[in-house]
Amino acid sequence: MRMMCRDLGWGVRNKQIVEGIDLDVHPGETLGLIGPNGSGKSTLLRMLAGITKPTRGHIELEGQDMQRMAQRTIAQHLAFVEQHADTGERITVRDAVELGRTPWLSALRGWSEEDDSVVSKALADVGLVDFDKRQWATLSGGERQRVHIARGLAQQPRMLLLDEPTNHLDIRHQMSILKLVIGLEITSIIALHDLNQALLCDRICVLQDGRAVAIGDPKEVITPEFLAENFSVEARFLKDPEDGETVIHFCGALA
């Protein structure tokens, strides 16, 4: 799905958290949002998801002004997976994924067989087929993240937005979640912390102090000079002798 934003900004009182973002999201791509802590990744993502209303600029979804779209219509176009959304309620995995059908249901259009199959497919897509009846409270962090992604997929969105989906997961789950998201056919925007993971995205957008300082192919954008300037780290790029992939080796923090 095509998304475009111009001069996008959000601030509280006299502090501007995000400003002047111009971004074109191409259909089908995986766009990584990277930047140091407090650079505005989450805020930007929440604006793109239609949850935080921008204080400046505008966002267009398929040529339509998002500000004028009903929340329900936005939810039919894009799904948002927050960081650590948790619940104390005793629901099953399937219950949680079924919530994803909410934007498509109404008083006139009740739950149908089709909704059942969408939910089943979403569970299958994230590899949780046998988890149907598992209680939410019994899931591990990686499994919960998968359930959230399945809930997003059950919305049948044309774009998926994820806020640091690999945060606090062990390395195996980080790899599998990332592989899952990048393998999806729909457009996705992921806020990421790990720069090695960012190398796997089609394009990245680098935020620094609320501004987009670079947008493009991660292998071209992320260079040792760039990392020194924007992330204040000294880094070297190594080639894996086995598969030829580039790996960033962080040597130390710069003063």
Q: Does 145 bind other proteins (CB under 8 A)?
A: no
Q: Does 137 bind other proteins (CB under 8 A)?
A: yes
Q: Does 96 bind other proteins (CB under 8 A)?
A: yes
Q: What character string, x for contact with other proteins (CB under 8 A) and - otherwise, covers 22-61?
A: ------------------------x--xxx----------
Q: Does 238 bind other proteins (CB under 8 A)?
A: no
Q: Does 88 bind other proteins (CB under 8 A)?
A: yes
The residue from 7, 116, 170, 220 that contacts other proteins (CB under 8 A) is 116
Closest of 232, 223, 173 to residue 198, by C-alpha: 223
Closest of 27, 55, 61, 30 to residue 190, by C-alpha: 30
Q: How far is the CB of 71 from other proteins (least distance, A)?
A: 5
Q: Does 15 bind other proteins (CB under 8 A)?
A: no
Round to whole Å and give the CA distance between 44 and 195.
Answer: 18
Stretch of 54-62, 80-88, 204-212, 223-231 contacting other proteins, by CB under 8 A: 80-88
Stretch of 30-38, 70-78, 176-184, 246-254 contacting other proteins, by CB under 8 A: 70-78
Q: How far is the CB of 80 from other proteins (least distance, A)?
A: 4
**Between residues 12 and 253, which has the closer beta carbon with respect to other proteins?**
12
Residue 197 CB contacts under 8 Å (≥ 6 apart), including other chains: 32, 166, 174, 178
Q: Does 92 bind other proteins (CB under 8 A)?
A: yes
Q: Does 62 bind other proteins (CB under 8 A)?
A: no
Interaxial angle between packed helices 113-125 and 141-154, expressed in degrees from 0 to 180 and rounded to the nearest 10: 140
Contacts with other proteins by CB under 8 A lie at 46, 49-51, 70-76, 79-80, 82, 85-92, 94-96, 98-103, 105, 107, 110-111, 115-116, 119, 133, 135, 137, 148, 155
